[in-house]
């Protein structure tokens, strides 16, 4: 599922003027958010990658300090 999201993101940035204007940035950002939402729905992972000392709270989809998850 992740690969599909990345592929859609890459294809959205391939237009002739898409990467050079505000509308293109908005479209690409929307595609990225949609891909993250699809990944979250399919895998129950966090919205982003958690850094050291944090773990994914799959119920909320956010990273929390390791000591908050039991």
The helix/strand/coil state of 8 is helix
Q: What is the pTM of this model?
A: 0.55
- Tens-digit pLDDT profile for residues 44-53: 899 888 999 9
Find where tokens 């992972």 sit: 45
Average pLDDT for runs of 10 along the chain of length 70:
62 60 84 90 90 93 84
Residue 69: per-residue pLDDT? 61
Residue 9: per-residue pLDDT? 60
């Amino acid at each position: 599922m992740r690969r599909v999201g990345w592929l859609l993101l890459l294809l959205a940035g391939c237009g002739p003027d898409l990467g050079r204007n505000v509308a293109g940035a908005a479209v690409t950002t929307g595609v990225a958010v949609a891909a993250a939402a699809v990944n979250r729905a399919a895998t129950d992972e966090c919205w982003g990658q958690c850094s050291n000392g944090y773990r994914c709270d799959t119920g909320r989809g956010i990273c929390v300090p390791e000591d908050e998850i039991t």
